[in-house]
Structure 1
Amino acid sequence: MKTIIIDPGHGGSDPGASYKGFLEKNYNLTIARKVRSYLLHHYQVNVTMTRTSDQTISLTERTDIANSINADYFLSIHNNASGGRGFETFIYNGQVSNQTKSIQNTIHNQVITTIKDKYNVPDRGKKRANFHVLRETKMSAILIEVLFVDNEQDLQLLNNNSFIDEVSEAIAKGTASALNLQVKSNNPLYRVIAGSFKDRQNALQRIQFLKKNNIDSFITPTTISDERYYRVQTGAYSSEKNAKQQVEALKEIGIANPFLLTTSPATPSDDSLSIEGATVLDANQLDTFAQVVNPETPVLGELYVKYGELYGVRGDVAYAQAIHETNYFRFTGIVQINQNNYAGIGATDVLNQGASFTTPEEGVHAHIQHLYAYASLNSIPDGLSLIDPRFSLVSRGSAVTWIGLNGKWAVPGDFYGQKILSIYEDMIISTIERIETQTDVLRSLLNEIKE
């Protein structure tokens, strides 16, 4: 499978071109994300981005990332400025392969065909330049200039969502055509549902029942006729025959009326929850949730909040992942409690029980750091040490969302991320219920005082 580097230009302290408060770096990132999403959704390809948020990344860091993972192709996305309007592409003005020239022709032509007449965009041509990202990359590389930020007509298009969607799709399609990417199969998936409930607690009870019968499952919320339902899913199969066998297995253990849902295959999406982001639940809320199930739960909430904030990783969702990995910190699997390994790092079987950490704090730090390795291309934050023994083994930036961890953190792990998010959703609901109960008590007390 081919690997593509998408490089959103500028970022962080480098805004790129600016005009009337509009910043090039923001358009670059928006288009890059949409190109990535389209490629991952439609083609068999690995995509890594040099930045996934408003980060400061040097030119050398960008090319080092591409060269270190032996990418097949480097795509740098920019906007133009300083007079003029229209679309143009660049490749290196030194010696380049015929393949590089062919890739430029294909992508450029695809974009121009899409936007020139419909949006009256001038074609500024296929050009060559001595840009660092074109010169220092060891693979075919192209730099795209999508219109001029400081031109009123172009700026209007850059602020037009339809235009951004179409130009992003054109860039992705051109890239796929140029690299001969294999189109993903449209064969349906057969999802096995072991119950659908209006009450989430009933769905959780169904999951526990299935677990006792050695059947893995998770909750998938859905809305039907404005009513919320919690479906318990026990698998997704490309073979209808295998899915029906699972339905029969559910009937044999007493599940009434299990059924199949036929859907298109699950694909990565920028819409799913990112690994990087703010920690919303506080330390007490994290600890309280787990202690309801396991009163012996170690007090780790403060550490997950602390290291989540240090790395810019959602510490509360990482805590949900730890609950999943440790069965509410009861350590009923191959990892033992004295290992302080809350994420199953390196654990594969009874002969390889994974990494061990000296203290609980080290274990939480390693967990967050391992997530950071998957979600970010940046170096470890200043002042922090390398704790995760498998940090260097991770393909950096290869999973920016929790669902993106499917098949990577755990194998086969087809719905690994969904299971984590299901726990996290339950954490949020439980926290809301506790807050609402406390609010009612406080309001009642306030009324007594006023009387």
Structure 2
Amino acid sequence: MKLIVIDPGHGGADPGAMFKNYQEKNFNFAIARMIRDRLVSKYDVEVIMTRETDKNVDLKSRTDLANVIKADFFLSIHHNAAGGSGFESYIFNGSIPSETVQLQANIHDKLASTVLQKYSIRNRGKKRADFHVLRETKMSALLLEVLFIDNEADLKLMTNPTFLMEMATGIADATATALNLPVAPVPTEGLFKVIVGSFSKMENAEEQLKILIQKGFNAFIATATITNSTVYRVQAGAFKEKENAEALAVSLNKAGFETFILYEGSVPDPPEEPPEPDKGYKIEGKTVLTTEQMDSYVRSINPNAPLLGALYASYSQRYGIRGDVAFAQAIHETNFFRFTGDVRPEQNNFAGIGATGGGTRGATFSSPATGVLAHIQHLYAYSSTASLPKGDEKADPRFGLVKRGSATTWQALNGKWAVPGTNYGQLVLTQYKKMVQNSLISLNMEREKLQNTLNTIDI
């Protein structure tokens, strides 16, 4: 396996080039981390960074690190200044192997024909210079000057998160091609992905990504299709170990970002002794109340409540879940859709998914339909061990975090859906009982009305 050292130029007390309120070191660090993440996620390669935080590392320490660990390639990321525009690359202007010249040509030309061409960026050419990191490294070394921080047109691109992603991806892929890096094998185990927002509009995801980068977090935008709609997820990391994902989520939360962890993949559970059957009212079963009865009940308490009965009836039928009890659970979680807790109405999160208290708002869904589907899928994760219905995408971001089949009754959700929640299931069923009683009263009134009508018919 080849070893690459990526060197984000400057850092700490050394800001590099400056313009307005922007500092070169931050752009170098952001792109360097994106390149690192792209390489290690797609290719079979090891990557070491000369700095992992905003600290000052002298030039000798950077090259000494690469030499001691016997890296195969050294890539230094910088941004330019002093009245120009465009992209250029550098190798040492002294004696170097032909391999280094070829690596520069391959990487530079690939970027020129893709990212530079797409964004109409000036190609300043392949150059040579007596820079320390190029002279003192014992392996092939390349320094990239991505753009000019003091050029307004270049700066506009540098603050565009989509461009940053494409440039970093382009550099990583061009480097992988030049070094003949093999594609990484598909992991057999799942990943815990840290999501910092899920949006129905690309521009909203890009704005979130921009803020993340400005605060020193690396991220990118991934797309998914849920209920025939495209959602744009801002992903800040992916880990094999849940603890690492949780640690990043804590850092993001402290920085003011709301996050949730999405598990993708499947890890076979070790064989276990068959558990004792859950006691109580089954989560799986037929929906008894009609759409009109569900909506009528919630509107009798909150006249402005959304009409979601049809969505709960439809999705619950597909998953074999008692949709009217799920509707009662949504009423319990949202206080009759008045959202008086941490979750906000615009999140379309009717089940409190990911809202763990202390101001954590939990997951956000692009539409009411996706929010209801995620709720039903979360119940399905608890009540069943079967796969999702054929053709259905995973809408519930915490589906993979649930131990499948661990709660087949509403009472068994105690301490699982809500913590401590020692009587959580009973509270949901109490609300459901009120819904049924309300429907019975309405039916009795209707029956009495019909009976009176029947008694007045004179034939």
Give the TM-score band, short-chain normalised.
0.3 to 0.5
The TM-score with structure 1 as length reference comes to 0.45
Larger radius of gyration: 2
TM-score (norm 2): 0.44
